[in-house]
């Protein structure tokens, strides 16, 4: 078993985040059951006070999830020397079957927590807390997911056996290995390039349409989420090779290292930001006609559309730039 300070820190961090979110979900149950704005009783006052506590907890949980997402990747990377054949985080994550699921959970929970914060911020602008029910139901969905993430992560770390031989990114991300990443590469880059470009253009076009007319929020959200997925696939498939200047190097984690100018951070932060904002547009759309949000919700959606478009555009620009200045000739 591996026992490094970083693992202990991640574990403690996960426990804390899970504690915050599960606690918040429990506190939210009371609100779901007894909330009544018209009622001036002690209970209602207490519940109103409680909403502040809950949103504080979720805000912190969100921040911790973001930082620990990158900490997790770095920890996996720092462990790579314990596994024969592993050259970076990709190898460590593959050391047992729970590495990649952990990171998937982390990304999902991060996006969900962000969604909650967007909904909460909008809800606070309405004088009758119109989104309160939906908010706390969402929290009840997040709670079990965060518990699952903590358990899976713990199992991953405690199940790490330094003797295990694992594949380094070369073998992992090459077409011969049989796992998800290999399937992406089994895609010849061409169709993925087309999908990537097409989706981005669609996103941009629909985003402008949505921005001006205030319609089509759901479609925008779906397109944004697709852009997120396709971008990751595109990154692994061809964008990475240009950054590494090596046609066989596809690893998405090495790009977070100093030798590549930490370019991975702006790239992935842009993707996460774009996905988050896009999903935010979608989750607010059903409430467009709520009385108390007439003034604020459409403006909020506009802002989110803008953020999403700028984020994905940044990703595209940086990727294109990398591809253009790269020494790789294809």
The C-alpha atoms of residue 278 and residue 223 are separated, in whole angstroms, by: 8
How many residues bind another protein, per CB under 8 A? 41
Candidates 65, 68, 284, 309: give the one binding another protein (CB under 8 A): 68
Structure tokens at 77: 């990377």
Cβ-proximal residues to 113 (8 Å cutoff; 6+ apart), any chain: 21, 58, 61, 62, 65, 142
Q: Residue 207 CA to chain centroid, in angstroms? A: 20
Residue 71 or 323: which CB sits closer to another protein?
71
Which range binds another protein by CB under 8 A, 63-71, 92-100, 242-250, 313-321? 63-71
In the list 30, 32, 66, 70, the residue contacting another protein (rule: CB under 8 A) is 70
53 contacts another protein (rule: CB under 8 A): yes
- Of the candidates 30, 78, 96, 174, which one interacts with another protein according to CB under 8 A? 78
Determine the Cα angle at 253 with ends 197 and 319, to 5°: 25
Residues 11 to 40: which contact another protein by CB under 8 A?
12-13, 16, 19-20, 37-38, 40
User: Judged by CB under 8 A, does residue 259 bind another protein?
Assistant: no
Could you tell me the maximum CA-CA distance found in the chain, to the nearest angstrom?
Answer: 72
Show contacts with another protein in window 101-160 (CB under 8 A). Answer: 124, 127-129
Q: Which stretch binds another protein (CB under 8 A): 7-15, 104-112, 143-151, 187-195?
A: 7-15
Whether the CB-CB separation of 8 and 62 falls below 8 Å is answered with no
263: helix, strand or coil: coil
Is residue 291 near another protein by the rule CB under 8 A? no
| Tokens found for residue 13 | 């961090």
Dig out the tokens for 244 from the structure: 């590494």
Between residues 7 and 309, which has the closer beta carbon with respect to another protein? 7
- DSSP string of 187-221? S-HHHHHHHHHHHHHHHHHHHHHHHHH---HHHHH
Q: Residues 33, 49, 289, 327: which binds another protein (CB under 8 A)?
A: 49
Strand partners, 165: 84
Closer to another protein by Cβ: residue 16 or 232: 16
Q: Does 45 bind another protein (CB under 8 A)?
A: yes
From CA 290, how far away is CA 293, in angstroms rounded? 6
Q: Are 59 and 66 in contact (CB under 8 A)?
A: no
The gap from C-alpha 51 to its chain's centroid, in whole angstroms, comes to 25
Determine if 6 is a binding residue for another protein (CB under 8 A). yes
Say whether residue 265 binds another protein (CB under 8 A): no
Interface positions with another protein (CB under 8 A): 2-10, 12-13, 16, 19-20, 37-38, 40, 45, 48-49, 52-53, 56-57, 60, 64, 67-68, 70-71, 74-75, 78, 81-82, 84, 124, 127-129, 162
């Amino acid at each position: 078993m591996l026992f490094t300070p970083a693992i202990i820190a991640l574990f403690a961090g996960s426990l804390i985040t899970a504690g915050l979110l599960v606690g918040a979900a429990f506190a939210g149950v009371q609100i779901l059951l007894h909330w009544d704005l018209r009622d001036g009783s002690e209970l209602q006052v207490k519940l109103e006070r409680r909403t502040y506590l809950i949103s504080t907890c979720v805000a912190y949980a969100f921040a911790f999830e973001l930082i620990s997402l990158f900490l997790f990747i770095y920890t996996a990377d720092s462990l790579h020397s314990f596994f024969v054949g592993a050259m970076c985080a990709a190898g460590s994550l593959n050391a047992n079957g729970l590495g990649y699921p952990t990171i998937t959970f982390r990304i999902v929970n991060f996006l969900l927590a962000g969604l909650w914060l967007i909904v909460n911020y909008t809800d606070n602008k309405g004088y009758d807390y119109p989104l309160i029910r939906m908010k706390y139901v969402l929290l009840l969905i997040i709670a079990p997911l965060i518990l699952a993430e903590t358990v899976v992560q713990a199992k991953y770390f405690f199940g790490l056996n330094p003797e295990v031989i694992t594949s380094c990114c070369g073998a992992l991300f090459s077409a011969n290995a049989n796992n998800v990443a290999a399937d992406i590469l089994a895609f010849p880059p061409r169709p993925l390039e087309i999908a990537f470009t097409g989706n981005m253009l669609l996103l941009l076009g629909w985003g402008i349409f949505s921005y001006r007319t205030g319609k089509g929020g759901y479609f925008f959200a779906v397109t944004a989420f697709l852009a997120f997925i396709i971008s990751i696939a595109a990154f692994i498939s061809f964008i990475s090779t240009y950054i590494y200047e090596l046609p066989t190097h596809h690893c998405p984690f090495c790009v977070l290292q100093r030798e590549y100018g930490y370019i991975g951070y702006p790239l992935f932060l842009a993707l996460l930001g774009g996905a988050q904002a896009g999903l935010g547009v979608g989750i607010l759309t059903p409430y467009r006609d709520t009385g108390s949000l007439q003034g604020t919700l459409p403006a909020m959606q506009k802002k989110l559309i803008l953020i999403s478009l700028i984020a994905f555009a940044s990703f595209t620009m940086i990727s294109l730039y990398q591809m253009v200045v790269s020494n790789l000739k294809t």
